[in-house]
Amino acid sequence: MITPILKSYIYSYTNIEPSKRIQNPTQADNTVLDLNKLPSYKYQISFGCSEEEKIKKYIKNRKRSLNRQHISYKNINMYNINRLEGIQEGIDVFKGLSMRQIKYLAQHSTEFVLQRGCHNMCAHCYASAMPPSYQKAPDKINKIDFEDFEKLYYGFQELNKRLGFSIFKNSKNEYNTLFHDADSSTIFLQDKNGKVYDYLDLAKMVNELTEKEIVFDTAGWNIQDKKTQERMEKLVEKALNSNEYDFVAFNLSANPFHALNHRALQHLKNGNYAQYKKIRDIYTTRMANVLFTFTPLIEKERVRLIVRALPNETKNANGYREDDLFMLYSEIFNKLFKLYKQDYESGAHKVIKDKDQIEKNIDYLNEELKNIEQALGINGRMADLVTDKKIFAYKNTKARTYKDPQKAVKGFKDGIIDVNGKLYITNWYENYPTDIQLNYKNKDKKTADISPYLNEKMITSDMLDTL
């Protein structure tokens, strides 16, 4: 029988398990390529100096000093950025940018955004995502051109080669994503020759630059969307059968804030139970299919549920609280159980080869429900649902806002590289634009506003001098 969601579990708020941390940058590593032997010297890139001997002397002395302290010199923070000025010359994607600007971008590069827009329309979405169609116009783009993504990839590869280490080492963030307000299930790129790069291909390129975990997030897809279904099945098989992609973390989100569930709850509120049941069934069937599709990765314990709800004591939030979340997952798990049973008993054995897998998988998913996140940002669409300003989520949102860009430039650790190459920095409660932008082919194209709370004030590059 299906394993029930036990009320005896202690469902207390815990932070989502942190991503794997990068190797301790203070560990000595004497295998680093000598900068003096790099092609950048051969081609007389000056590092901001006019005399080659001065350049060599600085690098040599700096390395010797750090080695004496047993400090790795594979870290941009160990160097005087002014002395490195010029090493980026000739790399097209950095045209017009100083090394200080490039360093700031790299150190704040949490999101390498490849696509904008999402159809799921979850009310709790920190990015207040709108459908892709809302984000496209003749002068606006909602997807990166593959040529621009290549420019970024090869540009940073060349810069890292010239430095002798990755400029992303010791950056402020612990993981990377390929999205801001898009669902990972919809993300893929196609080059000018028609070759398609799926999420894993693109994640591998970013991982090669940053050596960090890449996050895959999905809140599901329409069960009638055969193209996405086929793409996700192939992606799961590819991730399962190769160790090349073990740096990808798969997060699945079934939540009461999804647009379909929200619509169902509105019908329930208005007394239309039949419509509530119909739309609720569409949503729970969708999410059971998502879990079924990702079952091979669930069995490898590579899937994490993103579980979010409001505290039970939240006023006027029926349908969105912890107990409501358990009811929602009970419905989804029961449908998943039926899919498992049908797969096994029919002899299809698409994902269930052994009957014991069924209970084991659902037990694993039940365990994931222990980590409910309640510290949600009450902004955007969520502000229309929640009016109880006494709850922790409201207090936390207010406490995390900054109104001074001078403080934000030092206090914010995460950054968003938009599809037109423009950098924004964020604390996930508000965002600041910067005057830093990569030299993309589509750099003059507009994009939808970055949410939540995009400040009118801008972080300018002269503020970086204080860092």
Flag whether 200 is in a domain. Answer: no
- 371 vs 6, higher pLDDT: 371
- Interval 260-278: pLDDT, tens: 998 999 899 899 999 999 9
**Range with the poorest average pLDDT among 5-14, 48-57, 140-149, 359-368:** 5-14
- Interval 420-447: pLDDT, tens: 999 999 988 788 999 999 999 999 999 9
Contact at 8 Å (CB) between 329 and 258? no
Q: Which residues contact 146 (CB under 8 A, 6 or more apart)?
A: 189, 190, 191, 192, 197
So what's the pLDDT on residue 158?
95
So what's the pLDDT on residue 124?
67
Flag whether 264 is in a domain. Answer: yes
The span from the CA of 201 to the CA of 127, in Å, is 25
Tally of CB atoms within 10 A around 451: 20
Helices (H) and strands (E) in the chain, counts: 14, 12
- 132 vs 168, higher pLDDT: 168
The span from the CA of 224 to the CA of 280, in Å, is 16
So what's the pLDDT on residue 41?
29
Residue 285 lies in domain: 253-399
Q: Which candidate, 260, 258, 264, places its Cα nearest to that of 276?
A: 264
The span from the CA of 411 to the CA of 311, in Å, is 29
So what's the pLDDT on residue 26?
33
Flag whether 364 is in a domain. Answer: yes
So what's the pLDDT on residue 341?
96
- What is the total count of domains within the chain? 1
- Interval 282-311: pLDDT, tens: 999 999 999 999 999 999 999 999 888 888
Q: Which residues pair with 433 in a beta bridge?
A: 424
Q: Which residues contact 56 (CB under 8 A, 6 or more apart)?
A: 36, 41
Which helix (H) or strand (E) element contains residue 373?
strand 372-373
- Grade residue 64 by pLDDT with cuts at 50, 70 and 90: confident
Looking up tokens 């002899």 gives: 347
Flag whether 335 is in a domain. Answer: yes
Beta-carbon-side half-sphere exposure of residue 172 (alpha carbons within 13 Å): 20
Looking up tokens 């901001």 gives: 48
Tokens of residue 250, six digits: 């798969």
Strands (E), 132-274: 175-177, 189-190, 196-197, 213-218, 248-252
Q: Name the residue type at position 256.
A: P
Task: List Cβ<8 Å contacts ≥24 apart for 21-28.
Answer: 21/174, 22/169, 22/170, 22/174, 22/211, 22/212, 25/72, 25/74, 25/75, 25/169, 25/170, 26/70, 26/71, 26/72, 27/72, 28/67, 28/70, 28/71, 28/72
The span from the CA of 101 to the CA of 99, in Å, is 5
Contact at 8 Å (CB) between 74 and 167? no
* Res 32 pLDDT > 60: no
The span from the CA of 185 to the CA of 191, in Å, is 19
* Res 376 pLDDT > 90: no
The span from the CA of 148 to the CA of 151, in Å, is 5
- What is the average per-residue pLDDT within 52-61? 60
- Interval 65-91: pLDDT, tens: 777 777 666 788 888 888 888 889 999
Contact at 8 Å (CB) between 427 and 454? no
Flag whether 445 is in a domain. Answer: no
* Res 23 pLDDT > 80: no
Residue 1: C-alpha distances to residues 333, 341, 355 (Å): 12, 10, 11
DSSP assignments along 263-291, one per residue: HHHHHHHTT-HHHHHHHHHHHHHHHHHHH
* Res 10 pLDDT > 60: no
Flag whether 332 is in a domain. Answer: yes
Q: Which candidate, 322, 292, 286, places its Cα nearest to that of 307?
A: 322
- What is the average per-residue pLDDT within 399-427? 87
* Res 392 pLDDT > 60: no
Flag whether 53 is in a domain. Answer: no
| Percent of the chain whose predicted confidence (pLDDT) is above 90 | 55
* Res 156 pLDDT > 60: yes
So what's the pLDDT on residue 56?
53
Tokens of residue 123, six digits: 């009310």
Q: Is 310 helix (H, G, I), strand (E, B) or coil?
A: strand
- Interval 95-123: pLDDT, tens: 999 999 999 999 999 999 999 988 777 77
Flag whether 310 is in a domain. Answer: yes
So what's the pLDDT on residue 432?
94
The span from the CA of 416 to the CA of 439, in Å, is 15
Tokens of residue 24, six digits: 């301790």
Tally of CB atoms within 10 A around 80: 11
The span from the CA of 448 to the CA of 130, in Å, is 9
At residue 340, φ and ψ (nearest 5 deg) are: -60, -45
Q: Which candidate, 265, 317, 303, 258, places its Cα nearest to that of 283?
A: 258
Among 132-146, 403-417, 435-449, name the most confident range: 435-449
The span from the CA of 283 to the CA of 254, in Å, is 9
Q: Is 72 helix (H, G, I), strand (E, B) or coil?
A: coil
So what's the pLDDT on residue 311?
85
Tokens of residue 42, six digits: 């051969």
Q: Is 338 helix (H, G, I), strand (E, B) or coil?
A: helix
* Res 17 pLDDT > 70: no
